[in-house]
Amino acid sequence: MLDQRTKGFLEDALKGDRLITFLVGAGLSADSGIPTFRGKEGFWTIGSKNATPQSMGTKKMFDVNADEVWRWFLYRISICEQAKPNLGHIALSSIEKRLGARFALISQNVDGLHFRPESLVNNLYLIHGDLRYMRCADECSKALYPIPLFFREQIRSRETPLTFEEKQKLICPKCGEMTRPHVLWFDEYYNEKYYHLETTLRVAKSTGLLVVIGTSGATNLPQQLVAKTLSRNGVVVDVNPETNIISDKLRGLAHGHHLRGKSSEVLLAIDGYLRERGSELKT
Ligand SMILES: [Zn+2]
């Protein structure tokens, strides 16, 4: 599962003292049955019209139809709450225990699966937000409020309506305005305040080996993280069954590599490699 080149890069990184960082995307959670919501599974019907995920997940849509955007997100939250972490999530938790302070995880996933007891990761940066939280749509403060358990414990279908009582649970407790899901929308930009933009770029600067897993690299920050790591002589390995924007960039580079493989299988193999090498679990 791990080829010689990847093993060599891992070996070099372990001898060094810089971070070994994992950047993961939707491909990791696909094995848990969570769709990307960018394709047909993200389509949403408003009245007689079909809306694309790229139009539903926007500030623009929220400003004109907050109820429908919330109904779409509550459906997604319900799917994520019912999903279970897969072997890839669990392997990441084990890898962190073996690498200790040299481990970092940067995740594009908003599904909360890095927070379950069996897959818990501590040194984690969520760059697209977290579906388990909401925040004031008017930004009266930068506080995050947990999505009420009422919504997280129920199974919602695409057809479940949003009742008046439910809307009351989605009101900002501080100012009384509507809240919004704590996620980066398609028509918004990365920032430090909610999405750790500068912090993760600093992490990339301190990274000796960046393993990119299950992301198409279509958004801007993952590409910046790759570029920043390479600019500081770090190595980048892109794990993906297909070629993508990132593997195209790495082609022919001495510090870059494309490892074809499935997210969970490669993560298990990395954990197994560390175990064989004698990296004992530290906790
Ligand atoms: Zn507020």
3-state secondary structure of 209: strand
Residue 86 has pLDDT above 90, yes or no: yes
Residue 65 CA, ligand 1 centroid: distance in Å: 18
Residue 277 has pLDDT above 80, yes or no: yes
What is the pLDDT at residue 48? Answer: 74
Residue 42 CA, ligand 1 centroid: distance in Å: 28
Residue 255 CA, ligand 1 centroid: distance in Å: 47
Two domains, one topology: 4-33+85-128+190-276 and 40-82+134-183: no
Residue 148 CA, ligand 1 centroid: distance in Å: 16
Residue 283 has pLDDT above 60, yes or no: no
Residue 140 CA, ligand 1 centroid: distance in Å: 4
Residue 260 CA, ligand 1 centroid: distance in Å: 46
Burial class (CB in 10 A: 0-12, 13-18, 19+), 159: exposed
The model's pLDDT over 134-187, given as tens digits with 9 standing for 90+, comes to 999 999 999 999 999 999 988 898 888 999 999 999 999 999 999 999 999 999
The model's pLDDT over 95-125, given as tens digits with 9 standing for 90+, comes to 999 999 999 999 999 999 999 999 999 999 9
- The CATH fold assigned to 4-33+85-128+190-276 is Rossmann fold (3.40.50)
Residue 128 designated active-site:
yes
What is the pLDDT at residue 282? Answer: 57
The reply to whether CATH 3.30.1600.10 applies to domain 40-82+134-183 is yes
Q: Which residue among 128, 196, 257, 258 is the active-site one? A: 128
Q: Kindly list the domain boundaries of the chain, sorted by start residue.
A: 4-33+85-128+190-276, 40-82+134-183
Which tokens go with 122?
Answer: 């501590």
Residue 181 CA, ligand 1 centroid: distance in Å: 13
The model's pLDDT over 30-59, given as tens digits with 9 standing for 90+, comes to 989 898 777 667 777 877 788 888 888 999
Residue 43 CA, ligand 1 centroid: distance in Å: 29
What is the pLDDT at residue 46? Answer: 77
The secondary structure of 212-264 as a DSSP string is EES----SHHHHHHHHHHHHTT-EEEEE-SS--HHHHHHTT-TTEEEE-S-HH
* Angle (nearest 5°) at CA 250 between 114 and 33: 30
Residue 171 CA, ligand 1 centroid: distance in Å: 8
Report whether 145 contacts 112 (CB < 8 A): no
Residue 222 has pLDDT above 70, yes or no: yes
Residue 216 has pLDDT above 90, yes or no: no
Residue 281 has pLDDT above 70, yes or no: no
What is the pLDDT at residue 1? Answer: 84
Name the residue with higher pLDDT: 216 or 257: 257
What is the pLDDT at residue 280? Answer: 59
Report whether 261 contacts 254 (CB < 8 A): no
Distance between CA 181 and CA 16 in Å, rounded? 40
